[in-house]
Amino acid sequence: MEPLTLGILGLAAMLLLIAIRVPIAFCMGFVGFFGILLAVGWKSGQAFDFEKGFNAAWGFLQFEPYSFIASFPIIAVPLFLMMGYVSFHAGFTRDIYHAARVWLSRLNGGLAIASVSGCAMFAAISGSSLATAAAMGKLAVPEMLRYKYHPGIATGVVAASGTLGSLIPPSILMVLYGIFTEQSIGRLLMAGLIPGALSALIYMAMIWIRATINPKLAPKADKVTWRLRFSALKGTWSILVLFVMVMGGIYAGIVTPTEAAAIGCAGAWILGLLSRRLDKQKSKAAAVETVRQVASVFALVLGAKIFVGFISLTGVAGVLTEMAAGLEGVHPLWVMLSLSLIYIVLGTFIDPLGLMLLTLPVVIPVVQNLGYDLIWFGVIMIKFLEIGLITPPVGLNAYVLKGVVGDRVPLERIFKGILWFLAMDVVTLVILITIPEISLWLPRQMFG
């Protein structure tokens, strides 16, 4: 069998396994292992040499995944995750939301605007959109419903804003994208900062405009004294210190992203213990949740590494690159539109991390051959992934939020509320595609 034919069949088998709900990490590992076995076994001659194919696949499995996991940059992933979980259990994220709620509550749609900032901050340090939707759904949605907010806005803002953390650094998706594409992780983290802030501001502007036109959608909360406002700021210093330690160190060139992750993780533990917010039970919960999340992430990473080896061996990437060479006369907008449709559709039922690792070996050769900046494309790709999380009819964030709010808000109302935020995401995406400097200006200022 020709290697290219085998590669195409492998991709088809992958999609079939995903369709029958096999975990994507096992899909990639299974198809990759047996794909290498078949590709090498058939290369040996007319007859299939099982022993040679198995030895090649087993040798690859023994060396490549371990060498990848043992690399220095990937250490940032568990460290950033632990920083997020420790901060959550220490109550730092709750303090940020409380301060935003107190200061913004008198604006039109103030509680929803505060929810955007709270979700963005929590998602940034947790690295998980689904976890943000679950955690902030318990915290912010009941508060908005208590003040008679329209259920669509109250749930839609949490479902959509939970996706912001994949752009706002430190972002787990950005770190893994940088490792797989061999791009500077520092540049990628900085590239996501302005687009992430832009996304949040566009959400906030939409909420304010809608609430101003129709105050019944998002009534103002009770008046808050200035004393209470300034008192609420006392709880924000911990999370701000962590953010400055991590991003300030990278921006100043004092530490690498991996070293910044270690500093942020250690800082979260120290601040949590000094403030006496971390007892034995909370510390254990943070450690256990970190281990579970790291195991899930690394399973995907290992499966992706095996799958990448199979794709490279069959020459699929080379064929796609040649096809991309024939697209030089095609307007970039059509290429990006095609990619956006693929990612948004697949993103409705596949976790963003799994989808990114699944598609990188196929998409990156095409994008690279077309001459696109891979730092810029990293921002665009992650925006694609996060739009998929809230796209009807199978947006995962909506279902997670439905599980949190229960019968208080019907699922169809959640999706109707999300549609406004989905429209804003499309606006943001168009801006980021047409003005690449929004993503590239800050990395260039830092690194030249």
C-alpha dist (Å) from residue 225 to 11, 22, 222, 228 = 60, 54, 10, 5
Output the pLDDT for position 346.
78
What are all long-range contacts of 430-433, with beta carbons under 8 Å and residues at least 24 apart? 431/198, 432/195, 432/198, 432/379, 432/380, 432/383, 433/333, 433/336, 433/380
Distance CA 64, CA 206 (A): 47
Percent of the chain residues topping a pLDDT of 90: 14
Residue spans of alpha helices (H) in 370-410: 374-389, 396-405
Retrieve residue 115's tokens.
Answer: 């929810």
How far is residue 158's CA from residue 151's CA, in Å, rounded to a whole number? Answer: 11
What span, in angstroms and rounded, lies between the C-alpha atoms of 445 and 428? 22
Specify whether the CB–CB gap between 362 and 317 falls below 8 A: yes
Q: How confident is the model at residue 46 (pLDDT cuts 50, 70, 90)?
A: low
Distance CA 369, CA 182 (A): 15
Does 317 score more than 70 pLDDT?
no
Q: What values do phi and psi take at 164, rounded to 5?
A: -65, -25
384-393 residue pLDDT tens:
888 888 887 7
> Contacts for 281-289 with beta carbons within 8 Å, 24 or more apart?
282/89, 282/90, 283/86, 283/89, 285/85, 285/89, 286/82, 286/85, 286/86, 286/88, 286/89, 287/82, 287/85, 289/85
CB 310 within 8 A of CB 64: no
Q: For 362-382, what is the mean pLDDT?
A: 86
Tell me which residue of 73, 447, 69, 67 sits closest to 259, measured CA to CA.
Answer: 73
Q: Please report, rounded to a whole number, the percentage of residues in the chain having pLDDT higher than 70.
A: 93
pLDDT in tens, 211-253: 999 988 888 777 777 787 788 777 778 878 888 888 888 877 7
Q: Domain ranges for the chain, please list them.
A: 1-70, 73-448
State residue 322's pLDDT score: 65
Rounded to an integer, what distance in angstroms lies between the CA atom of residue 234 and that of residue 172? 29
Report pTM. 0.81
432 pLDDT band, cuts 50/70/90, is very high
Peptide bond into 219 cis (omega under 30): no
Task: Give the pLDDT of residue 423.
Answer: 92
Amino acid in position 141 = V
Q: What separation in angstroms does the CA of 305 have from each of 28, 33, 57, 183? A: 8, 10, 13, 16
End-to-end CA distance of the chain: 48
Whether the per-residue pLDDT at 350 is higher than 80: the answer is no
Answer yes or no: are the C-beta atoms of 411 and 401 closer than 8 Å.
no
C-alpha of 215 from chain center: 33
Token code pair at residue 301: 């990473």
Angstrom distance (rounded) from CA 38 to CA 52: 10
| Banded model confidence at residue 1, pLDDT cuts 50, 70, 90 | low
CA distances from 401 to 112, 121, 123, 240, 328 (A): 15, 18, 15, 27, 43
